Amino acid sequence: MLKGIGASEGYGIGKVMLVEEHSLEYTPKVVTDTEAEIKRYKDAVDTFVQQTMEQAEALKSSAGEKEAEIMQGHIAIIMDPFMGGEIEKLVAAGTCAEAAVEQMCDMFIGIFSATDDDLTRQRAADVKDIKTAMLSILLGIKEVKISDAPAGTVLVAKEVTPSMTAGINKENIVGIITETGSQTSHSAILARAMEIPAVLSVPNVLSQLSSGERVIVDGSAGEIITAPTDEQAAEYETKREAFLREKRELELYRGKKTVSASGEEYELCCNIGSPKDAGKAMDSDGEGVGLFRTEFLFMDRTSLPTEDEQFDAYKAAAQILKGKPLIIRTLDIGGDKEIPYLGLEKEENPFMGFRAIRYCLKNRDMFKSQIKAILRASAFGDVRIMFPLITALEELREGKALVEEAKNDLRNSGIAFNENIPVGVMTETAASGVIADLLAKEADFFSIGTNDLTGYTMACDRGNSDVSYLYSPFQPSVLRMIKSIIENGRKNNIPVGMCGEAAANPMMIPLLMSFGLTEFSVSSVSVLKVRKNISKWTKAEADAVAEKVMAMETEKEITEYLSSII
């Protein structure tokens, strides 16, 4: 058995087709006829755009309109004036087109890869795919095509890119296995869109499997069973049928309210990273956006976005939501999110250092520009402002004071905005949990960020394998912190949501219902599952579960109990 990340649920049984990558090695050379080399680069761009437009059209039919936008986004990146201009400068200085493309792409890949945010890291994958395609064109290498794969094929590749999947016949592909990728990678997004079971990030899988070998792909558990017996094949065929039946049942929850078995209503929103993602949230039947990460506006460039550029993005998201709530988190940089042009100094411990609200309050002009853009967008929908990484009451007060300054500027300019725009706090530190009673008196809402809250409360880095065993939202200390935050919000009559990954965990849901959470914000693919899981519990049943859990002393005891009743 091989293990990886279950990125697209379901079960597939078929024969392996290895997708080997062509070598993109070349010998850099100094160019003397720079005009001819620039023309060669521009011709490659034209070819890339034509091929990518064709792939986007093919993806529309095989995966859907939203997935095709991935390819359209690649065109926007390669046509970006800054990227093209810098590549042409390098070529004009004597660099060959291949090396110039690689140098600029690698710069952006490095910027985007330096973050722990999956959505931002995905931009690195976009640029990597562009680099591969452009080098293939410049070197005259034909792209890998899998459109001729026979029925019952399990694709095995280092990475399944959008360009590879453009011509895929999804009826013939029963599973996907890759050596790289995550839940939010394009391989995962495309596999889910085409409803193909996928297991990603399986180390050295290309060297461990052979073409024609029979395997079972368990996209739910993230497992690959090699050389399965007939009994195992029959067992997984039964699982596959049950999975498909359950998937059909989930559609029954589309268009319905999010209600417990005893009638309590909840708000079920989505986490997004761009205006396009707001469309995905609506397509998934989300009831709004509980977290709009604004970092993407600042990271995909070499200078600060203008107020107008930010306003256009926030307005677009608000209009897509058509009056549903849109919580916009102000710039959360530092820690694992590096933006080179901002000139942040290297720190010994960046997660404990100059980041998020701390950076913004020291860079007031930049911060005020973002707040004004959000305020202007509030004239077009139910927009709300949320400050990240609040650890002291003074930070909230200073942020709110800046909001008032921005309001005055807009009033004086005659620009419309919501005078009563809610301003909330992302409670994601132990400090914010401990002073939740104070913050709740001056914040309009809370949203619990369980990813950072768990790390800060447990003083552990989830990326450090030596201490990752401590990183769990079911640690008694973390659960007590979550409960306290929600209770203090309720005492002060402000809504409390959760935008961390734990909000979609079936084991966490009855606890959150009992504690009094009012809003769940999850990934778009999780909406119907969360709605279904909430509908299973009465408030009394959830209270009984929470009472037992809060009396337990260890994470192991808690998770074993919860997994036994889910």
Q: Which residues does the annotation mark as catalytic?
A: 186, 499
Q: What angle do CA 405, 411, 412 make, to 5 degrees?
A: 90
| Longest distance between any two alpha carbons in the chain, whole Å | 78
Amino acid identity for residue 501 in this structure:
E
Strands (E), 79-219: 153-157, 173-178, 198-200, 214-218
Distance CA 267, CA 269 (A): 6
Distance CA 519, CA 489 (A): 12
Q: Facing residues of 326 across strands?
A: 289, 383
Q: What share of the chain is helix, strand, coil (3-state, %, to 5)?
A: 50, 15, 35
Distance CA 319, CA 327 (A): 13
Burial of 238: CB neighbours in 10 Å, binned 0-12, 13-18, 19+: exposed
Other C-beta atoms within 10 Å of 395: how many?
21
Q: What are the Cα distances from residue 508, in Å, to 166, 504, 517, 566?
A: 38, 8, 11, 10
Could you tell me the strand order of the sheet in which 173-178 lies? Answer: 2-3, 223-226, 214-218, 11-19, 153-157, 173-178, 198-200, 5-8
- What is residue 252's DSSP assignment? G
Q: What token pair was written down for 439?
A: 């913050």
Q: Which SS3 state, helix, strand or coil, does residue 384 take? A: strand
Distance CA 92, CA 34 (A): 5
Q: Which helix (H) or strand (E) segment is 272 a member of? A: strand 265-272
Which residues, including other chains, have CB under 8 Å from residue 227's CB and lie 6 or more apart? 213, 214, 215
476 touches 558 (CB < 8 A): yes
485 touches 431 (CB < 8 A): no
382 touches 389 (CB < 8 A): no
Distance CA 447, CA 101 (A): 42
Q: Which residue has the tokens 């049984």?
A: 13
471 touches 462 (CB < 8 A): yes
